[in-house]
Amino acid sequence: MEPKDNIKNLINEKEVQFRDFHSLKIETRQNEDGKDELVVEGVACTFNQETVLYKGKYYEDREKIDPNAFDECDMTDVIFNYNHCGRVYARTRNKSLELSIKEDGLHVKAVLMNDDEGHKELYRDIQSGLIDKMSFAFHVEESKWEYTENGEYTVYTRTVTKIDKLYDVSAVDIPAYDTTSISARSAFDAERERRNAESIRLAEELELQKRKLLLLLQLGKES
């Protein structure tokens, strides 16, 4: 399966969300045995930092992550892979992938094997800038919404308050298929549909109340 098809399936079938890392760095370090380690690390998300995910003609989508969003998140077996599919390069289960919740956000550290050509190739591609983006995949259990309207323009702000599952972190090279934009749009479009449906329902209820009031007034005049 092509990476973009796999991502589409995850979005449509499991409602998985994808977001780009806020910062990324790589370096070679020496471990306790004096051997070189290939380290890829970064900050997957920064708490309480509002990010513009999409800006259109009539609306804008913004998002921020609550500092307590990961309190009950399942991170027992998270993998580090490529394009959110394919080979696994590091894993929390064998401690080659470390996830830590700090005051500022979710920090990620992956240690690649320096005696594996595939690992060294991925490391070189990231180091050279051929692969210049990292993202993580997760599922949102709870969130709250705010709306700011200015004429016909509406700003939708979602605060993610509970993430119940972190699936993977991934090096990605698919700029033509922006996973963050597409997965975010799916969530925000669903909220827009819900809000529009609610507005229609309230408008219909208001119209019904008006008709009832007019009917009562008419009956009052006739009596």
* Cα–Cα distance for residue pair 151/129, rounded to 1 Å: 43
Q: Torsions phi, psi of 138, nearest 5? A: -155, 170
Instruction: Tell me how far apart the terminal alpha carbons of the chain are, to the nearest angstrom.
Output: 74
Three-state SS at 79:
strand
Q: Where are the domains of the chain?
A: 3-222
pLDDT tens for each residue of 1-53: 666 676 677 777 778 888 888 778 888 877 777 777 899 988 888 999 998 88
* Spatial contact of 125 and 34, defined as CB atoms under 8 Å apart: no
Q: Torsions phi, psi of 83, nearest 5? A: 55, 30
SS (H, E, C) 187-221: HHHHHHHHHHHHHHHHHHHHHHHHHHHHHHHHHHH
pLDDT tens for each residue of 184-222: 666 677 677 777 777 677 777 777 788 778 777 777 776
Q: Torsions phi, psi of 37, nearest 5? A: -115, 140
* Cα–Cα distance for residue pair 90/97, rounded to 1 Å: 5
Cα angle 144, 150, 155; round to 5:
30
pLDDT tens for each residue of 118-144: 999 999 998 888 887 888 899 999 999
Model confidence, pTM: 0.74
